[in-house]
Amino acid sequence: MMGLIDFKFGNLKKGERDLITDVKGVKVGHFTIDDGDIHTGVTAILPHEGNIFKEKVVASSYVINGFGKSVGLIQVEELGTIETPIILTNTLSVGTALSGLTKYMLLNNEDIGKTTGTVNSIVCECNDGYLNDIRAMSVKEEHVFYAIENAKEDFDEGNVGAGCGMSCFGHKGGIGSSSRVIQLDNKMYTIGSIVLSNFGAYGDLILNGKKFCENNLDKETDKGSIIIILATDIPLNERQLKRICRRAQVGLSRCGSYLGNGSGDIVIGFSTSNKISHYEERDIVNMKILNENKIDLIFRAVADITEESVISSMIHAKTLQGRDGHVRKSLNIREGK
């Protein structure tokens, strides 16, 4: 991953791209709006290349701190599956993104709401209002369609898509991603992450275990949000996915976050190995799961990829002057790179 050559995030082997899309079938797409006072957009994460409604992935979520407006998590918790792409956007565009995603699902599944039930669309958000004129509500339904239909394995990081107007530790934040490869039973598996970073107080940032600069505790607080999506091809059930989702907060702490009151920190995890057919006819369905005694390696990987994804979102982001002259500088520029 360009820009991170001087940083080290654990000792596990990275995936080929060092992106969440190293998990086979996973794709990511963006629609970016970067014009005048508008700096926002949409990012879509597709769990696999097929019909996600008909072939759901086993999933779980974990709310580290619930200062957020995400949609769809209740059903994920109850049923342990995801049946749509995951959409990321800004806080005031959740309703529009939800409508766009739902219309996309209806267009591609004529049975929804007719011969079968409705659909649990998933939308997550962060507040980009410091740099973006969030009141303009510039995200449109067609932007969701574009992000989904143009999703691919190679995608940009930094201030793109939903990350266009985000801030992180007082610097420019946005989209970041990472992956690790793990051997289990003589077979190689992958676990990857993508984050929408918009959290942390200036001065709290830690790079390679060292404080980046000093914080003024009287003025700075940890507020904003971060959305973390974890994907893997390791066979896991929803309980095991919940356990690995919890470990994402280790990576956040390594970066300097103390999970502040004003931060919405949400994690969603899914496995592409176990798929649930919407029209399953069998009464009993087989499912592979991980031997729990082998899960520590995955915990370690989640901590590493979460930390790296956050730093990657800042390294790849470009300095941005947003609304009312507000500026967030790239971490690359502050490092003199």
Q: Would you name the residues annotated as active-site residues?
A: 225, 263, 265
Could you tell me the two tokens for 319? 């300095």
CA gap 200, 259 in Å, rounded: 8
7 close to 311: Cβ distance less than 8 angstroms: yes
Question: Is residue 106 exposed (0-12), middle (13-18) or buried (19+ Cβ within 10 Å)?
Answer: middle
| Residue 140 three-state SS | coil
204 close to 222: Cβ distance less than 8 angstroms: yes
19 close to 2: Cβ distance less than 8 angstroms: no
Residue 47: how many other CB atoms lie within 10 Å: 26
The H or E element that residue 99 is part of is helix 94-108
160 close to 174: Cβ distance less than 8 angstroms: yes
